Amino acid sequence: MKLLRNTVLIQLALILFIPLSSLTAATTIAVMDFIPKGVTDIEASALTDRLRTELVQIGKYKVVEKEMMNVILAEQGFQMTGCVSDKCIVAAGQILGAAQMVAGSVSKVSRVHSVSARIVDVESGEILKVATYDHEGDLGELLKTGMEYIAKVLTDQIVEDTIIVEEEKPDTKLEERITRQPEPPTTQGSAISISYSLPYPGRGDGTNHAFFGNWMFSLEYSKGLSTRLILGLEFGYGKLEYREYKQGDSPYSDFKEVNGPQYTYLMRIYYLLNPGKRPGFSLFLGVGAMRAKEIDRWTYDAYSGPYISNANEAWVFLLLPVGVSAEFAHAGNTGFILDLGYLFSPKDPAHDININPYGFTAAIRAKFHL
């Protein structure tokens, strides 16, 4: 008698709670609450209710109302908690008199919410359809768009594979934009550089032999002329040390001595070999002048020794630097550059002296892009 009474109740429930207009050939389907994984039971229940609503609006199925499901299953003593296997889902569908059951889960990993749903045939236990939807962001957007998508996939309104392909297109373009190297600018910008020129190599003990030394701090303003060409204007201040004997390294001869400040004025042209890339390399060619002070001319007397014949002269020398620059490090708008080159400085015809007898130069430069 109890079994007969329950059967009658199920039939009455289906008649009362399913619209008569949908009793033609529509399949009866029941939707079980999603299993929460990383979300609350309330959130999982809200998503399930929205899926039921979307299925009703599509109109392909007769959807068993949630409250009636709870009443019928409670009447039969069926425990919904822990009902995750297809076997358990089929048993619930048999009690409800549904031909198919919808079950699934909603999970959250980091900021990504994922919904997975499937339709199970009650008679055969076969999974008829599967739908998934991933959303990065809050749960509200998943409720509004995700459940509509799941419902349409389960009812064959859209094909899931097609949606996946269409959604991958913007991701591919975004990846291309991220990995693609930035295009070099049509014209290089402006910059200010501070550099330190390393001393020239010395020779001898500085007393009886020729000795050389040079250090300098420079400030340069540069401006791009094109993609590869940069014009630089440089001012430098440092100290020049130089002694040259008239007869080789013999201390018993006339000599010239420089031991004072120097000022340089240079114009350089840089040619970028690989604009817009790191590390950056460029060639440079310059022209300018150096003004050296405190230059003494000594004359050697066999009886009294050397004496100053001309003191504290100031000379101007021609400078022709050439070389290569390598940007070996970069931080924000600042580049760190090593300059290696050769300094052509012809001997002054009036004073017969060369400010850099070795010719080779090296400098460390910090370049601040404006």
Question: What radius of gyration do the chain's Cα atoms show?
Answer: 44
If we measure between CA atoms, which residue out of 271, 201, 270 comes closest to residue 234?
A: 270
Domains within the chain, CATH numbers bracketed: 2-179 (3.40.50.10610), 190-369 (2.40.160.20)
Average confidence score pLDDT of the chain = 76
SS3 11: helix
- Enumerate residues 6+ apart whose C-beta is below 8 A from 21: none
If we measure between CA atoms, which residue out of 146, 143, 152 comes closest to residue 46?
A: 143
Segment among 5-19, 191-205, 267-281, 336-350 with least mean pLDDT: 5-19
| C-alpha span between 150 and 7 (Å, rounded) | 32
| C-alpha span between 322 and 262 (Å, rounded) | 20
What is the separation of C-alpha 327 from the centre of its chain, rounded to a whole number of angstroms? 20
* Tokens at 220, concatenated: 């340069």
Q: For the residues 174-201, what does the mean pLDDT come to?
A: 65
H/E stretch holding 47: helix 41-58
> In which band, very low, low, confident or very high, does the pLDDT at 6 lie, cut at 50, 70 and 90?
low
Higher-pLDDT residue of 128, 177: 128
Residue where the block lists tokens 């029941």: 30
H/E stretch holding 321: strand 305-331
Give per-residue pLDDT as tens, 42-59: 988 899 999 999 989 888
Segment among 4-18, 212-226, 349-363 with least mean pLDDT: 4-18
pLDDT over 50 at 209, yes or no: no
Segment among 67-71, 158-162, 167-171 with least mean pLDDT: 167-171
Segment among 108-112, 198-202, 273-277, 292-296 with least mean pLDDT: 198-202
pLDDT over 60 at 184, yes or no: no
| C-alpha span between 30 and 99 (Å, rounded) | 8
| C-alpha span between 309 and 297 (Å, rounded) | 6
| Pairing mode of beta strands 190-197, 211-224 | antiparallel
Higher-pLDDT residue of 63, 20: 63
SS3 227: coil
SS3 72: helix
> In which band, very low, low, confident or very high, does the pLDDT at 17 lie, cut at 50, 70 and 90?
very low
